[in-house]
Amino acid sequence: MSTSPRSSAPVGVVVPAHNAGRFLAETLESVRAQTLTDWRCVVVDDGSTDDTLAIAEGFAARDPRFRAIRQVNGGPGAARNHGTLELGPDVGHMSFMDADDVWAPHALETLKSAIDETPGAIGAHGLADWIDERGSPISPGTFTSIGRGRLGCSGGKHYPWPPDQPTNFEVLVTHNVLFPPGLLLAEASAFRAAGLFTTQRHLQGVADWEMFQRLARFGDLQLVDEVILGYRMHDTNISGSSTMAAQMTSVRRSCFYSPENTAEQERLVRDAWRSQQRGDASQRWREGRRHLKSREFRSAVVRVSRLPLVGGRYLWGRPRKRLTRTERRAGFPSAG
């Protein structure tokens, strides 16, 4: 294991929390129980109206490695940014834990060891499985298989990412496999180089994906093929937002037109865009045929009617800079 300053510095954990009183204590207890003990955790109460702050302050009173701070409600991105500043400049690695998920006791130690033992890696991530509101498993192995199912893109087509290869920019412009964000531990210097989380309100469900795309410009993220986190499913998950498709479109557009793209990254984002359109067309065609077999003619027409548009997007090879119809329906601000 490395004995460099990066390796020996404490790990910083940021937990943004808005009205998270139902689950926050279990989340923070999973942080406290880590086998890697050299960490500090900042809990950012994002303008909660429940007992979130009191719970966080209770942990801080019992364990000095915790710190509780409060801010006016600004969304997860603003809370993560605030927490990052409060961690201080001496942390070597950082992770952003959602306030309803739980780590396995070995999570931080496993991820940090993977980084230290992999030359050139700026981070490492593991896998998650679903848990319910009581912390009981839901369909064990199902979400884990989704995390393992990484994809690359080439020639306008998706292809399975080799299981022995790290997650990189190509994977992350194709889809987000680093979800929830507590799956990832990365060098603090890389996070700082990538910049701040977006604070745009309409992108809070994908703020982590947009950040991780930028982070991957600085190096690879080693996959640890084991479950390190319980991803809690409940009725207020932000990832279940009805505007998620529109948010994902906005992130893809932002990455496509980023001035930070190298020539190789420009090729990758173009391939990723075409791959996404090809996948959309295939899904629409399959669903249209299924509706037709069920004699659901109206639904069949709805699914296939946009195939010419999707085909045009594939041939054009780039997202338009204006808002899509999905984004306008979601009430997003103008893209221009």
Enclosing domain of residue 109 = 5-241
Q: Is 251 part of any domain?
A: no
Residue 210 pLDDT class (50, 70, 90 cuts): very high
Q: Tell me, yes or no, whether 166 and 83 share the same domain.
A: yes
Q: Tell me, yes or no, whether 278 and 304 share the same domain.
A: yes
Number of structural domains in the chain: 2
CATH number at residue 14: 3.90.550.10
Check residue 244 and give its pLDDT.
86
Tokens of 154: 């080439």
Residue 133: is its pLDDT beyond 60? yes
- Based on its alpha-carbon atoms, the radius of gyration of the chain, rounded to whole angstroms, reads 21
Residue 249 pLDDT class (50, 70, 90 cuts): confident
Q: Tell me, yes or no, whether 291 and 260 share the same domain.
A: yes
Q: Tell me, yes or no, whether 293 and 165 share the same domain.
A: no
Comparing C-alpha atoms, which of 164, 168, 178 is closest to residue 219? 168
Q: Tell me, yes or no, whether 29 and 167 share the same domain.
A: yes
Q: Is 334 part of any domain?
A: no
What does pLDDT average to over the chain? 92
Residue 336: is its pLDDT beyond 50? no
Q: Tell me, yes or no, whether 183 and 294 share the same domain.
A: no
CA distance 270 to 272: 5
Q: Is 159 part of any domain?
A: yes
Q: Is 335 part of any domain?
A: no
Q: pLDDT tens for residues 279-335?
A: 999 999 999 999 999 999 899 998 899 899 888 888 888 888 877 777 777 677 765
Q: Tell me, yes or no, whether 206 and 118 share the same domain.
A: yes
SS3 assignment for 256-315: HCCCCCCHHHHHHHHHHHHHHHHHHHHHHHHHHHHHHHCCCHHHHHHHHCCHHHHHHHHH
Q: What is the mean pLDDT of residues 110-137?
A: 97
Check residue 314 and give its pLDDT.
87
Residue 206: is its pLDDT beyond 90? yes
**Token pair 């194709």 in the structure block, residue:** 174
Residue 4: is its pLDDT beyond 50? no
The alpha carbon of residue 210 and the mean position of all alpha carbons in its chain are separated, in whole angstroms, by 8
User: 3-state DSSP call for residue 224?
Assistant: strand
Q: Tell me, yes or no, whether 179 and 39 share the same domain.
A: yes
Any residues with CB less than 8 A from the CB of 323 and at least 6 apart, and which? 332, 334, 335
Q: Tell me, yes or no, whether 301 and 184 share the same domain.
A: no
Check residue 5 and give its pLDDT.
47
Residue 7 pLDDT class (50, 70, 90 cuts): low
Decide if 69 contacts 81 (C-beta within 8 A): no
Helix axes 297-304, 263-293, angle to 10 degrees: 160
97, amino acid identity: M
Decide if 18 contacts 46 (C-beta within 8 A): yes
**Last residue of some domain: 216, 241, 266?**
241
Residue 235: is its pLDDT beyond 70? yes
Predicted TM-score (pTM) of the model is 0.91
Q: Tell me, yes or no, whether 37 and 131 share the same domain.
A: yes
Residue 18: is its pLDDT beyond 50? yes
**Last residue of some domain: 188, 218, 241?**
241
Residue 47 to residues 8, 52, 205, 307, Cα–Cα distance (Å): 34, 9, 18, 44
